[in-house]
């Protein structure tokens, strides 16, 4: 009982390392992950052009004021509010609002509708579903041939939306609210890429399609794209806040985990389910050994293990109960050393980290093996 009381409360993500690519709300996401025990590697894959400095947004705003569109589609609440505030800062706020009052204004969902009304405007229509597909269907039913349609963008691609309008004969004007650019400091992104390719990460989170596209682009520039795609396909879990965010990854054949509700909280909860389910759990020497990213759970108690020790443990766990030769374990160690004494040193540290030396048995002149419990030994050692 005393041991149970002294044991710290480890969150569901304890022992896992999660990469965060977000620029906006990264602190909030990182805090949610850390609160559940994860180690977080933050590398903003994009940066946002400040609205007040955005010459493209200024030009688009002046163009719409000078030449009225037939329809304006507001797609995000934060984007619409930011657009109106930026126009105010340029002395164009009243002119923009006057123009928007005179056109057919569509708001994608309740949140955007709230932002529209807060600006003193009234939308002509808004879907309850927050679905751009529903907005598109309505526009195409009305007929778009020869109509000028302005779409307030928010850095996210709108797959098929603009193309469908243009195919229907519309002139589409993009209003580029919050444009994304690559980060000025590529160091953190490069560290995240290196960690992903070397399997030093257990998951990478994406909260915007531009961040996903930017990370893939940087990987390609460095010649790491095949390695990154291989990692994301097997060992490093890619988690996206929603289907639009996943588009750049899906284009490269990468399957992603997505929550049912496209919010940060559900994104973290999906990781809390998925990562522990992927961890290897084995009955060893009367204990339950669960191997996580940079740590292990022994009977539910978290033990941090150095990278060399984790490399040895993974090599042993791939064939639990079998003897793994020193030469094979040496190849598994980080670095390119040739001295098998390095295996003995790393093994001694691993046993100390585990705090249960009988988990790993030394087989004289042959190597080491995980001391798999006899009841389950046959299941693994017979190749099952």
Full set of structural domains in the chain with CATH: 17-47+183-278 (3.40.50.10090), 51-178 (3.40.50.10090), 280-370 (1.10.10.10)
What's the Cα-to-Cα distance from 171 to each of 69, 95, 150, rounded to whole Å? 9, 22, 8
Confidence of residue 359 (pLDDT cuts 50, 70, 90): very high
Contact 93, 75 (CB under 8 A): no
Q: Report the range of poorest mean pLDDT among 55-59, 175-179, 237-241, 256-260.
A: 175-179
Confidence of residue 129 (pLDDT cuts 50, 70, 90): confident
Contact 36, 202 (CB under 8 A): no
What's the Cα-to-Cα distance from 69 to each of 19, 60, 151, rounded to whole Å? 42, 12, 10
Contact 291, 302 (CB under 8 A): no
Confidence of residue 157 (pLDDT cuts 50, 70, 90): low
Whether the predicted pLDDT of 62 surpasses 90? yes
Q: E-assigned strands of 319-358?
A: 324-325
Q: What is the pLDDT of residues 291-317, one digit of tens each?
A: 999 999 999 899 999 889 999 999 999
Contact 17, 202 (CB under 8 A): yes
Rounded to whole angstroms, the Cα distance separating 82 from 154 reads 10
Q: How confident is the model over 98-103, as a mean pLDDT?
A: 96
DSSP letter at 223 equals T
Q: How confident is the model over 255-278, as a mean pLDDT?
A: 92
Q: Report the range of poorest mean pLDDT among 48-57, 127-136, 183-192.
A: 48-57
Q: What is the pLDDT of residues 247-264, one digit of tens each?
A: 899 999 999 999 988 789
pLDDT at 380: 46
Between residues 52 and 207, the one the model is more confident about? 207
**Distance of alpha carbon 30 from the chain centroid:** 11
pLDDT at 181: 85
Please give the angle made by the CA atoms of 197, 200 and 202, to the nearest 5 degrees: 95
Whether the predicted pLDDT of 4 surpasses 60? no
Q: How far apart are the first and last CA of the chain?
A: 37
Confidence of residue 210 (pLDDT cuts 50, 70, 90): confident
Q: Over the chain, what is the mean pLDDT?
A: 89
Q: How confident is the model over 124-145, as a mean pLDDT?
A: 91
pLDDT at 153: 83
Whether the predicted pLDDT of 377 surpasses 60? no
Q: Which residue has the tokens 């004021």?
A: 65
Question: Residue 12: CB partners within 8 Å, gap ≥ 6?
Answer: 36, 37, 272, 275, 276
Confidence of residue 208 (pLDDT cuts 50, 70, 90): confident
Whether the predicted pLDDT of 73 surpasses 90? yes
In degrees rounded to 5, what are phi and psi of residue 297?
A: -110, 125
Q: Which residue has the tokens 């929550």?
A: 259
Determine whether 274 is exposed, middle or buried from the number of CB atoms within 10 Å of its CB (0-12, 13-18, 19+): middle
What's the Cα-to-Cα distance from 371 to each of 32, 279, 365, 380, rounded to whole Å? 37, 19, 17, 12
- What is residue 235's three-state secondary structure? coil
Confidence of residue 376 (pLDDT cuts 50, 70, 90): low
Confidence of residue 180 (pLDDT cuts 50, 70, 90): confident
Between residues 356 and 296, the one the model is more confident about? 296
Q: Report the range of poorest mean pLDDT among 18-22, 191-195, 277-281.
A: 277-281
Confidence of residue 347 (pLDDT cuts 50, 70, 90): very high
């Amino acid at each position: 009982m005393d041991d149970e009381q002294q044991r710290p409360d480890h969150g569901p993500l304890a022992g896992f390392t999660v990469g965060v690519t977000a620029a906006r709300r990264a602190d909030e996401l990182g805090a949610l992950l850390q609160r559940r025990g994860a180690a977080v590697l933050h590398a903003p894959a994009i940066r946002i052009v400040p609205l007040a400095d955005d010459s493209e947004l200024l030009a688009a705003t002046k163009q719409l004021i000078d030449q009225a569109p037939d329809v304006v589609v507001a797609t995000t609440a934060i984007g619409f509010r930011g657009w109106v505030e930026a126009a105010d800062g340029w002395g164009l706020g009243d002119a923009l609002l006057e123009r928007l009052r005179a056109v057919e204004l569509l708001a994608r969902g309740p949140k955007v509708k709230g932002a529209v009304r807060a600006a003193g405007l009234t939308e002509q229509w808004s879907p309850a579903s927050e679905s751009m597909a529903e907005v598109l269907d309505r526009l195409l039913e009305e007929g778009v041939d020869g109509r000028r349609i302005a779409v307030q963008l928010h850095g996210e691609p709108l797959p098929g939306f603009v193309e469908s309008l243009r195919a229907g004969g519309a002139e589409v004007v993009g209003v580029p609210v919050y444009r994304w650019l690559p980060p000025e400091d590529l160091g953190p992104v490069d560290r995240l890429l290196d960690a992903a390719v070397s399997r030093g990460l257990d998951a990478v989170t994406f909260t915007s399609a531009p961040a996903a596209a930017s990370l893939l682009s940087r990987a390609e520039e460095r010649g790491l794209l095949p390695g990154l795609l291989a990692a994301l396909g097997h060992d490093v879990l890619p988690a996206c806040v929603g289907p639009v965010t996943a588009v750049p990854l899906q284009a490269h054949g990468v399957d992603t985990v997505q929550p049912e509700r496209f919010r940060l909280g559900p994104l973290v909860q999906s990781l809390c389910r998925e990562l522990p389910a992927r961890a290897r759990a084995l009955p060893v020497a009367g204990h339950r050994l669960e191997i996580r990213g940079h740590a292990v759970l022994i009977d539910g108690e978290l033990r941090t293990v150095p990278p060399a020790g984790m490399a040895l443990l993974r090599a042993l766990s791939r064939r639990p109960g079998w003897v793994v030769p020193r030469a094979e374990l040496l190849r598994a160690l980080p670095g390119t050393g040739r001295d098998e004494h390095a295996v003995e040193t790393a093994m001694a540290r691993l046993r100390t980290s585990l705090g249960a030396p009988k988990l790993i048995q030394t087989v004289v002149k042959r190597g080491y093996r995980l001391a798999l419990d006899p009841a389950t030994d046959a299941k693994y050692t017979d190749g099952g």
